[in-house]
Amino acid sequence: MLTKFIKIILISFTIFNFTISAKSSDTIKIALIEPMSGPLAAIGLDLIEGMEFFAERINKSGGVLGGRHIEIIPFDNQMVAEKTIQQLRKVIDQDIRYVSQGVGSNHALNIIKTLKKHNKRNPGKEVMFLNHSAVTTAFTNELCDFYHFRFDANVDMKVAGLITKMASDPDVKKVYLINQNYAYGQSFQAAAQRLLPERAPHIEIVGDELIVPFGKILDFTPYIAKFTASGADTILTGNWGPDAARMITAGANAQLKVKYYSIYAGIPNAMNAMGSKISTFTPILQITESNENDPNHPEWLQEIEAEYTAFSNKSPYADRQRWMLDMFAAALEIAGTDDPTAVGFALEGMKSRGANGEVYMRAKDHQMHFDMVISHISENVEKTFVYNGENYGMGYKTDGWVNKEEITLPSTCEMKRPKNS
């Protein structure tokens, strides 16, 4: 009797699930594949929340294509590469034509490769990849694809931006490179090795290290010893997560007086983990697309950011999500259809507004170009960072801007374009 009862429940559950996943073709769906569980869950969930916020803004102001809403559908990849491919197949099976991702370039690579094959074999059913944060330079060079658009600056561009600032920084004379030994870190290292002699020939590279990534190193003291022995006054690093936080903590404990030039060492999570004493002991600089404490931060952006903070109880951080969705919506309107091929042609060369002027999507390689701001963590800021109601007591203080022209780099992309119908 009981087993029969259980069987009935299980069967009705299954049927129920099937009916739930029946497609509602009213909305324009973007599948968002990010880690929703595991060590990077916080980053993934924050990005999903950001996407949902910016999509909601567009929906509230009338939607696209005659009132249709943009719907963000999150998928958990648990930071496992195979899971990303599995979820992508689900996305394709569910007839969703747009997929977005950004946490982890190896996942982005899987998506690009899988979609290349899928799009080739399924003309008329193409899926577009809206890449919001996967920064491996190759994605808009050797691996470029018509159905891939990158809305963040790539590693080479960010390193170029950092080095351009370093070149005019009188404190920087001897730099030590340290990076994580995987695709992203090696890419950072290669870009730094190439661009330092090009853009800052007076700066001497006194060290160049690759470390085992993702928190395997508990004790950074030997590295601090190496930094001290080399006489470096600046550390140029792509490290993120515990690899950055522990390194900077060890440096501060050892009273090492160096400037950190980084991309992700100062992200809000790290800032909180390190605490204000360590975060402000020596300047920790980072390069981003926007800084809410910038003296020239535009009014219209401040309003949007205030809405975002009211919605999410967090300070704004990834402004690129805003222009990604705005441009997507605009492209839909120009194309007049939700077909990815038409939307793709509309996105090429499209402009939008950024925190420091116009931003645009380069048609040649589908790489976004925008001015970038170099800032350091400081307690003397007007708007300190707030996360889930907790005030970190620190924020970012602008050191300078790098124009998009200064970080416009050549591309080896040779894209095969579909016919523009």
Partner 1 sequence: MDAILFNIFNGILYGMLLFMLSSGLTLIFGMMGVLNFAHASFFMLGAYFAYQISEFVGFYPALIIAPLLIAVIGAYVEKYGLRRVHKFGHVAELLFTFGLFYIIEEIVQMIWGKVPVGYHIPLSMDFSLFKIMGMSYPAYQMFTLAVSIGIFVGLFFVLAKTRAGLIIKAALTHPEIVSSLGHNVPRVFMVVFGLGCGLAGLAGVLAGNTLGTDPSMALFLGPIVFVVIVVGGLGSLKGALVASLLIGLMQTFAISLDYSLNNILEFLGFSVDLESLWRILIDITISQIAPILPYLLLVVMLIARPRGLFGTRDV
Q: Which of 14, 388, 420, 421 binds partner 1 (CB under 8 A)?
A: 388
278 is a site residue for partner 1 (CB under 8 A):
yes
Question: 215 or 357: whose CB is closer to partner 1?
Answer: 215
* Nearest to partner 1 of 99, 258 (CB atom): 258
Distance (Å, whole) CA 60 – CA 2 = 49
| Least distance between partner 1 and beta carbon 194 (Å) | 19
Reference 364, options 148, 158, 152; nearest CA is: 148
44 versus 63: smaller Cβ distance to partner 1: 44
Q: Does 185 bind partner 1 (CB under 8 A)?
A: no
Instruction: List, in sequence order, every beta strand (DSSP E) within 102-173.
Output: 128-131, 148-150
Determine the angle formed by the axes of helices 299-312 and 41-60, rounding to 10 degrees.
120
* 42 is an interface residue for partner 1 by CB under 8 A: yes
Q: Which is nearer to partner 1, 53 or 220 (CB)?
A: 220
Residue 193 is a binding residue for partner 1 (CB under 8 A): no
Binding partner 1 (rule: CB under 8 A), the pick from 228, 230, 398, 403 is 228
For residues 315 and 383, the answer to whether their CB atoms sit within 8 Å is yes
- Could you say whether residue 209 binds partner 1 (CB under 8 A)? yes
Nearest to 85 by CA among 95, 98, 71, 75: 75
Nearest approach, Cβ of residue 69 and partner 1 (Å)? 29
Strand order through the sheet with 284-288? 204-211, 174-180, 234-237, 259-262, 284-288, 372-378, 395-402
Distance between CA atoms of 347 and 38, rounded to whole angstroms?
A: 34
Site string for partner 1, 257-276 (x = CB under 8 A): ------------xx-xx-x-
Our finding on whether 223 is near partner 1 (CB under 8 A) is: yes
Closest CA to 334 of 316, 361, 309: 361
Interface with partner 1 (CB under 8 A): 38-39, 41-42, 45, 181, 209-212, 214-219, 221-226, 228-229, 242, 245-246, 249-250, 253-256, 269-270, 272-273, 275, 277-278, 387-388, 392
